[in-house]
Amino acid sequence: MEAQEQKDMDSNSNIMCLLTDPEGTPLGPSMFLPHNAGPPQLQQLVNKLLNNEDKLPYSFYISDQELVLQLGAYLEKNKVSVEKVLKIVYQPQAIFRIRPVNRCSATIAGHTEAVLTVAFSPDGRQLASGSGDTTVRLWDLTTQTPMHTCTGHKNWVLYIAWSPDGKHLVSGSKSGEILSWDPQTGKQSGNPFVGHKKWITAISWEPVHLSSPCRRFATSSKDGDVRIWDISLRRCVIALTGHTLAVTCVKWGGDGMIYSGSQDCTIKVWETTQGKLVRELKGHGHWVNSLALSTEYVLRTGAFDHTGKQYSSPEEMKEVALERYNKMRGNAPERLVSGSDDFTMYLWEPAVSKHNKARLTGHQQPVNHVYFSPDGQWIASASFDKSVRLWNGTTGKFVAVFRGHVGPVYQISWSADSRLLLSGSKDSTLKVWDIQKQKLKQDLPGHEDEVFAVDWSPDGEKVASGGKDRVMKLWM
């Protein structure tokens, strides 16, 4: 009798739990955990089970909600039955924390037409912008003043991209020409890259862990082609043809594949030695507008991280970048998400299958921009329906909707620690959203007109925004 009572007491005070990684791989068998176990105790347990020499910070999720209470309190609050095994997903956290931006530290005039694109360098030390006034500008972030005005384009500058080693800046214009610049001097390096017949929609560099120093980049254009260029040879080395309508976006993946999304409703996957088409991803019923990779943050920043370390040789840079890429990717394949005019998004694992992993529905208008968080755990999407939505980056499951903008949301950007999300809108404001609390953290008014472009610096210190009012704003 006593033994039975003892057993009942044990099962009452303990909860059967299964710890898994975001991909669903269990960390050992199911185990009984006490009611009063919370994130600190789970953190100790995971570090122990993984034999981590340095104790790493983890956050824990139960069906996409972050666990911030003790298990007993969570079960009570959410009326969860203790009959079933409770699945807890552990996720490594950024070791550093980004302070939220909350004020405009500088409004820099200079451009004489709308600012259409802004981008921080991979180490976060420089900032570039492209404008309807046909110039690219480089800004000094320490003095918050214009540094170089790069002239040479004959039409609107629609897209700019830094090489992940920080040595080159490339810009594409509405007339289809591509120019490259030396970020140190602001001077044009060599002749224009000629080949595209219509405007440039996107530029993506070959990752530095695949090739260092950086030489090759891909461009997509409204003329329906994707081209691979070599910055040393200053010419197109491969033309990827096969799309039947405008190509709207291009991404160079970490395993060497190029992904292109088009108004022909398809996404094509290309290998980059001969430019062969590897597979075609079909499913969207309308134009594909935006693509994002789960590894995008480490591809963009290469060897640079929040510590600000600089590198002496391309070899060292390649080595560090490869280590960062492998760590970020883990054992799972690189994931791709696509956003479309058909109001939906698809989650893909192109290396594994031509079939989508999940269809993400909920937006009421075209999806403008999709973006994975730096840790690959979340997908954020911005839409003409004035909302930003948050999804699970592994399963594609809907997590939350952020409402607050009163106009279409054009662009989003993540903080380096994946805890905050920034959005820029036609309503002239920027907003910062808190991912854990799933609500608005900061409203940043200040622009006098539509905000077209936003970027959060990789070191997490600054946000840049530009738009129709012709000014660049820096937020700290």
Place of tokens 């405007």: 199
Q: What does the block give as tokens for 146?
A: 């214009």
Counting Cα atoms < 13 Å in the Cβ hemisphere of 175 gives: 12
In 357-397 the beta strands, taken as DSSP E runs, fall at 358-360, 367-372, 378-383, 388-392
Residue ranges per domain, the chain?
1-92, 104-475
Helix (H, G, I), strand (E, B) or coil at 445: coil
- Relative to beta strand 288-293, strand 178-181 is unpaired
Query: Does the pLDDT at position 9 exceed 80?
Result: no
Residues ≥6 apart with Cβ < 8 Å to 48 = none
- pLDDT for the residue numbered 294: 97
The fold of 104-475 is Methylamine Dehydrogenase; Chain H (2.130.10)
Q: Look at phi and psi of residue 442 and say left if phi exceeds 0, alpha if psi is from -120 to 50, else beta.
A: beta
Task: Point out the least confidently predicted range of 146-150, 262-266, 358-362.
Answer: 146-150
Query: Does the pLDDT at position 7 exceed 50?
Result: no
Alpha-carbon span 9 to 131, nearest angstrom: 69
DSSP string, 231-246: TTTTEEEEEE---SS-
pLDDT in tens, 211-220: 999 999 999 9
φ and ψ at 2, to 5 degrees? -60, -40
Residues ≥6 apart with Cβ < 8 Å to 53 = none
Query: The whole model's pTM is what?
Result: 0.90
Query: Does the pLDDT at position 304 exceed 60?
Result: yes
Alpha-carbon span 138 to 125, nearest angstrom: 11
The candidate with the shortest Cα–Cα distance to 220, out of 251, 191, 189, 184, is: 251
Task: Point out the least confidently predicted range of 3-7, 179-183, 413-417.
Answer: 3-7
Burial class (CB in 10 A: 0-12, 13-18, 19+), 255: middle
pLDDT in tens, 447-456: 999 999 999 9
Q: What does the block give as tokens for 270?
A: 């290309």
Q: Which amino acid is at 410?
A: Y
- pLDDT for the residue numbered 12: 58
- pLDDT for the residue numbered 63: 87
Kind and range of the H or E run holding 183? none
Q: At the top level of CATH, which class does the domain 1-92 belong to? A: alpha beta
Alpha-carbon span 458 to 471, nearest angstrom: 22
In DSSP terms, 321 is beta-bridged to none
Alpha-carbon span 187 to 365, nearest angstrom: 42
The candidate with the shortest Cα–Cα distance to 363, out of 396, 341, 392, is: 341
Q: Which amino acid is at 239?
A: A
Alpha-carbon span 116 to 62, nearest angstrom: 40
- Relative to beta strand 14-20, strand 86-92 is parallel
The per-residue pLDDT of the chain, averaged, comes to 93
C-alpha Rg value of the chain to the nearest Å:
23
Task: Point out the least confidently predicted range of 120-124, 304-308, 444-448.
Answer: 304-308
Cβ–Cβ < 8 Å for 117, 453: yes
pLDDT in tens, 46-95: 999 999 988 889 999 998 889 999 999 998 898 887 788 999 999 988 87
Helix (H, G, I), strand (E, B) or coil at 58: strand
When pLDDT is cut at 50, 70 and 90, the band that residue 331 belongs to is: confident
